[in-house]
Amino acid sequence: MIDTEIGVVLNNKMILIENDTIKKIADNIEIPKNALVIDLSNATVLPGLIDCHTHLTFQSGDNYYEMFRKSIVDYAVLAPSYAKNTLGAGFTSVRDVGAESFLDVALKKAIDDGKISGPRMQTATYYISSTGGHGDLVGFSPRLSFNNGPKEMTGIADGVDDVRQKVRYLIKHGAGVIKFGASAGVLSEEESVGAPQYSQEEMNAIVSEAKMWGRKTCAHAHGAKAINMAIKSGVASVEHGSFVDDEGIALMRKNGTYLVADIYVDDYILAEYGKLGFPEDIINKEKIVGLIQRQNFQKAHKAGVKIAFGSDAGVYPHGWNGKQFYHMVKWGMTPMQAIQSATINASDLMGWEDKVGSIAVGKYADIIAVVGNPIDDIKLLENVQFVMKGGEVFKNLIEK
């Protein structure tokens, strides 16, 4: 059993679960009468994994221009399968950081109500973006828009008063975390990949408003200037962080800001997105970002910046989330540190440290297992064979 709180592997443990909660962990437990016994003695047991950067309401795989032929109903039909694939991969909790039409809130409710299978979700609802920013539609005729409904049903907001109102509106309708675009991005057609897209005053307003309502914030930020502005505003995490500089690393350490860097996704984008008809300027942006993001991830980790696991699943197929562990180890983490990034660190970032992130008395019985030891071979986490969420077995492929 991997104890993620102290970072050690423990042998010959028994775990007693009642309903959805872990009640006891010991070398020897008297088995209650009529208890169901699950034998994982030939496997390594871990707490359920946590992905802090997912998009469960969509998945690339279609031609780029298919997005203009789909309605929210199309995405709603497919979202439950993405949630199921994520849970099957061993990710029992996720932070979902951007969805249209509050589809993520509806998906979360259906999972919480037991109507469909999926991970626990912390939802961001709409991605807050400036006009013309990474969350807006850029590069097409003004007659085209993702945002054909009322302005409230978009993430677009400009100016201090407008961004404050947007935060309130999103929280009103189910946002458990607030995400905004501090910088330009890769998978959009604005010219820059990392220039700031909000002023310092606007970022400050988003974060302070969210805090007033008891919500953390995360900032999409590639460029160094935007990263530093976001950290100064008080965000809980920087997403991507591709061009983080020495100042940004120092600020993150000082403020306790988490870095959530999606360092597997570069492989998938460069291999597949050209085939899917994505514009050349988008592919070229990824070529600029990919390697330096990984190098800066390594630099930030060595400097002691807090790291939480975030895959950006949805940009590549849901259920492939575990492929990122290999890259985290390749770029400087030990296997234990990579696992902790997706367990105890991720639960801390989400404010769920009392519920998930470790196998501990009083926490949810979110437990996964693999045959073999991922401390010796981190790639084992790409094929999780046993998944339990809240005491309910979702998947068991381990032979007794």
Residue 144: per-residue pLDDT: 63
- pTM value is 0.96
Distance, in Å, from the CA atom of 198 to the CA atom of 227, rounded to the nearest integer, reads 11
According to the model, what pLDDT value does residue 302 have? 98
Q: What is the pLDDT of residues 9-34, one digit of tens each?
A: 999 999 999 999 999 999 999 999 99
Return all residues near 22 (Cβ < 8 A) that are at least 6 apart.
15, 16, 359, 360, 361, 362, 363, 364, 365
Tokens read off for 187? 């998978």
Query: Could you tell me which residues come within 8 angstroms of residue 121 by beta carbon, excluding any fewer than 6 positions away?
Result: 56, 93, 94, 95, 96, 104, 107, 108, 111
**Model confidence over 221-266: pLDDT tens digits?**
999 999 999 999 999 999 999 999 999 999 999 999 999 999 999 9
Checking phi first, is residue 293 left (phi over 0); if not, alpha (psi -120 to 50) or beta? alpha
Which is nearest to 367 in space by CA: 333, 392, 340, 335? 392
Structure tokens at 244: 């983080």
Q: Which of 84, 312, 323, 366 is catalytic?
A: 312
3-state class (DSSP) for residue 103: helix
Alpha carbon 335 to chain centroid, angstroms: 19
Q: Using one digit for the tens of pLDDT, what is the confidence trace for 99-154?
A: 999 999 999 999 999 999 999 999 999 999 999 899 887 777 676 655 555 667 88
pLDDT tens-place string over residues 312-368: 999 999 999 999 999 999 999 999 999 999 999 999 999 999 999 999 999 999 999
Cα distances (angstroms) measured from residue 210 to each of 144, 202, 223, 229: 31, 12, 23, 17
Among 125, 58, 60, which Cα is nearest to 282's? 60
Question: Can you give the length of the chain in residues?
Answer: 400
Angstrom distance (rounded) from CA 182 to CA 202: 10
From 2.70.50.60, 3.20.20.140, 3.90.226.10, 3.40.50.740, which CATH number describes the 49-356 domain?
3.20.20.140
**pLDDT of 167 above 60:** yes
Q: Which of 84, 108, 179, 363 is catalytic?
A: 179
Collect contacts of 266-270 with beta carbons under 8 A, ≥24 apart.
266/290, 266/291, 266/293, 266/294, 268/315, 268/316, 268/320, 269/186, 269/187, 269/315, 269/316
pLDDT at 377 over 90: yes
For the chain, the average pLDDT equals 94
Query: How far apart are the C-alpha atoms of 381 and 346, rounded to whole Å?
Result: 16
Interval 181-226: pLDDT, tens: 999 999 888 888 999 999 999 999 999 999 999 999 999 999 999 9
C-alpha–C-alpha distance, residues 341 and 308, integer Å: 5
- pLDDT in the model for residue 189: 81
Positive/negative CA dihedral, 87, 395, 359, 12: negative
CA-to-CA distance for 70 and 83, rounded, in angstroms? Answer: 19
pLDDT of residue 348: 98
Distance (Å, rounded) from C-alpha 176 to C-alpha 174? 6
d(CA 325, CA 309): 9
> Cα–chain-centroid distance for residue 157?
23
Residue 239: HSE in the Cβ half-sphere, 13 Å Cα cutoff: 25
Measure the CA–CA gap between 55 and 226, rounded to whole angstroms: 23
336 with 358: CB under 8 angstroms?
no
**Residue 179 pLDDT:** 98
Structure tokens at 317: 């197929």
Cβ(118)–Cβ(56) below 8 Å: yes
The pLDDT assigned to 243 comes to 97
pLDDT, residue 67, reads: 72
Q: Is 312 a catalytic residue?
A: yes
Residue 279 pLDDT exceeds 90: no
